[in-house]
């Protein structure tokens, strides 16, 4: 066993470990004059500490918590490192992302730090001004979201995540557009397409799929998630899709997709209110849309012809600033 040094201050060590949830670097230990040989001995198999990353120790032997992993990742990456991706989104209050297996950190382009299985280091000429969340420097939501979406997430997962972040008010479509102008081109194709969908008013995966089908059929004038009111100013509904000239609404009608039974009942009530106000409603299950998009387009065309052949009901439409 290494000889114990009496030069370091045990109280200072305890304060350091308490400050950063028992995550400490070799450099910090040297500053306290704590012998690295003693630290190495503590990190032996069966010892009280563990070597988590090169130069970074967690001063207990149990499984590191997500908070400890994040502190360790930022400390490993070095001064000025900023946490991004899924972990930064979770710290910003976005709960639709799981704890990632590998944490992402941004460092300056001049920093030479290798990625590890637990930590993916991305060098950038555009290190964002961080927000300190729980003591950890985190990228702004728009940057963290685009960084996460550039990593090869499936299209529908990306749609769901971006829509959830925007709907919850964590960032705006304008924020995302600005980020996409500045971000690396690599891996940005899917998030660019999804942000265009959200800017058009789309707020769910099923709506995004329907929009793609309608655009391909030449029915791109469909509006998304507008608010309908009667002539007395009473709110009617906010349908998924809306053709204003014909007063025709499109509704994703599904319990199999993402709706709870309570959501499904609300959908049915909403459709009845629209029908009572004179709106022609076209409900479609996402599975039917995927299986036979041509049938959906044919139904939409026939309904639009019916809508155009009658007097338009006195419905007032308000549109939210989707791109704001």
CATH number of domain containing 267: 3.40.960.10
Alpha carbon distance 52, 59 (integer Å): 10
90 and 187 in a single domain? The answer is yes
For position 186, what pLDDT does the model report?
Answer: 87
Instruction: Write the DSSP symbol of residue 130.
Output: P
Is residue 174 within 8 Å of 324, Cβ to Cβ? yes
Q: Is residue 20 part of a domain?
A: yes
Spatial CB neighbours of 277, under 8 Å, sequence gap ≥ 6: 228, 230, 236, 313, 315
Task: Note the pLDDT of residue 87.
Answer: 96
**What is residue 239's DSSP assignment?**
-
Q: How far is CA 211 from CA 5, 203, 233, in A?
A: 69, 11, 29
Exposure class string for 29-67: b at 16+ Cβ within 10 A, else e: beebebbeebbeebbeeeeebbbbbebbbbbbeeebeeb
Residue 100: give the domain boundaries: 67-71+78-199
Output the DSSP codes for 14-65: HHHHHHTTTEEEHHHHHHTT--HHHHHHHTSTTSSSEEEETTEEESSSSPPP
CA distance 296 to 115: 48
Alpha helices, DSSP H only, in the chain?
10-19, 26-31, 36-42, 66-77, 85-91, 141-149, 155-167, 173-182, 189-199, 205-216, 261-276, 286-291, 293-308
Distance, CA of 206 to CA of 256 (rounded, Å): 11
- pLDDT by position in tens, the chain (length 324): 455 545 788 899 999 999 999 999 999 999 999 999 999 999 999 999 999 999 999 999 999 999 999 999 999 999 999 999 999 999 999 987 888 889 999 999 999 999 999 999 999 999 999 999 999 999 999 999 999 999 888 898 999 899 889 988 999 999 999 999 988 888 899 999 999 999 988 888 888 999 999 999 999 999 999 999 999 999 999 999 999 999 999 988 654 444 456 666 777 888 899 999 999 999 888 888 889 999 999 999 999 999 999 999 999 999 876 534
Q: Please say which residue of 176, 199, 222 terminates a domain.
A: 199
Strand-strand pairing, 119-124 and 50-53: unpaired
| Residue 323 covered by a domain | no
Indicate the length of the chain as a whole number. 324
Q: Which of 242, 235, 218, 220 is nearest to 303 (CA)?
A: 242
For residue 1, tell me if it sits in a domain.
no
Number of domains in the chain: 3
For residue 147, is it within any domain? yes
Q: Is residue 238 part of a domain?
A: yes
Indicate if 157 and 259 belong to the same structural domain.
Answer: no
What does the alpha-carbon distance between residue 163 and residue 38 come to, in Å, rounded to a whole number? Answer: 50
Residue 93 — left, alpha, or beta (φ > 0 → left; ψ -120 to 50 → alpha)? left
**pTM of this prediction?**
0.82
Q: Are 224 and 241 in contact (CB under 8 A)?
A: yes
């Amino acid at each position: 066993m290494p000889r114990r040094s009496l030069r370091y201050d045990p109280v200072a060590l305890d304060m350091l470990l308490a400050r950063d949830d028992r995550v400490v670097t070799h450099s910090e230990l040297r500053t306290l004059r704590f012998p690295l040989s003693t630290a190495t001995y503590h990190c032996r198999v069966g010892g009280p500490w563990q070597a988590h990353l090169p130069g970074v120790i967690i001063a207990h032997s149990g499984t590191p918590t997500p908070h400890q992993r994040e502190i360790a990742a930022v400390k490993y990456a070095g001064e000025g490192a900023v946490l991004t991706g899924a972990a930064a989104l979770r710290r910003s209050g976005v709960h639709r992302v799981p704890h990632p297996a590998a944490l992402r950190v941004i460092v300056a382009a001049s920093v030479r730090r290798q990625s590890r299985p637990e930590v993916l280091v991305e060098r950038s000429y555009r290190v964002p001004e961080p927000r300190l969340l729980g003591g950890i420097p985190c990228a702004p939501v728009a940057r963290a979201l685009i960084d996460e979406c550039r990593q090869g997430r499936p299209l529908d997962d990306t749609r769901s995540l971006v829509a959830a972040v925007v709907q919850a008010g964590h960032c705006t479509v304008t924020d995302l557009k600005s980020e996409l102008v500045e971000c690396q081109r690599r891996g940005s194709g899917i998030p660019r397409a999804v942000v265009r969908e959200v800017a058009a008013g789309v707020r769910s995966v099923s709506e995004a799929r329907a929009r793609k089908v309608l655009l391909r059929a030449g029915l791109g004038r469909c509006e998304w998630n507008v608010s309908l009111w009667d002539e007395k100013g009473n709110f009617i509904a906010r349908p998924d899709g809306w053709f204003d000239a014909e007063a025709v609404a499109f509704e994703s009608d599904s319990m199999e997709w993402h709706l709870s039974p309570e959501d499904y009942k609300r959908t049915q009530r909403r459709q009845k209110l629209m029908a009572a106000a004179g709106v022609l409603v076209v409900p479609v299950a996402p599975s039917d849309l995927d299986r036979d998009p041509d049938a959906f387009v044919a139904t939409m065309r026939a309904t639009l012809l019916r809508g155009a052949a009658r007097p338009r009901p006195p419905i007032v439409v308000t549109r939210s600033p989707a791109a704001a």
